[in-house]
Structure 1
Amino acid sequence: MYRSRLTAQRLAALFLLGCVLFNYPVLALFNRAASVLGVPVLYAWIFAAWLALIAVMAFVIEKRRD
């Protein structure tokens, strides 16, 4: 039961982190007329943040006890 509650708390924290990462003030930082490997910086940021959130969620959910 303790493990399930800890996982739920971590996932809730990740949700809040996602809300911050995809909110206006942070997105405005990356809204520039530049590109990374031919992709606009804003789109690269959105994709990278989305990918990172999915990876961390998978790590939190699949983490096993030692």
Structure 2
Amino acid sequence: MWVLFAAGVLALHFPLVGLWGQWADGLGIGAPFVVALFVVWALLIAALAVIVERAPD
């Protein structure tokens, strides 16, 4: 779970999101970029659910 936490911090950390935002604005894809952030967030939650469900009782 620590690896998942680190991946989430890196993926959603403000400086990286700012760089991705500038890149997306430069390409003219602002709205899909926001949707992509929510997709990354949802994938992190889904991965956590899979890890928790597979854990032995």
Letter in 1 for 2:7: L
Sequence identity of aligned pairs in percent?
A: 20
Instruction: Give the direction of change, closer, same or farther, for the CA distance of 1:18–1:64 in structure 2 (3 Å limit).
Output: closer
Unpaired segments of 5 or more residues in structure 2?
Answer: none
* Structure with more contact order per residue of length (Cα contacts < 8 Å, sep ≥ 6): 2
Q: Write the deviation string for residues 2-61 of structure 1: whole angstroms up to 9, x where unpaired.
A: xxxxxxxxx111111100001122x222x12334xxx71331121011000001000000
Q: CA RMSD in A?
A: 2.0
Higher share in strand: 1
TM-score by length of 2: 0.69
TM-score by length of 1: 0.61
**Structure (1 or 2) with the larger CA radius of gyration:** 1
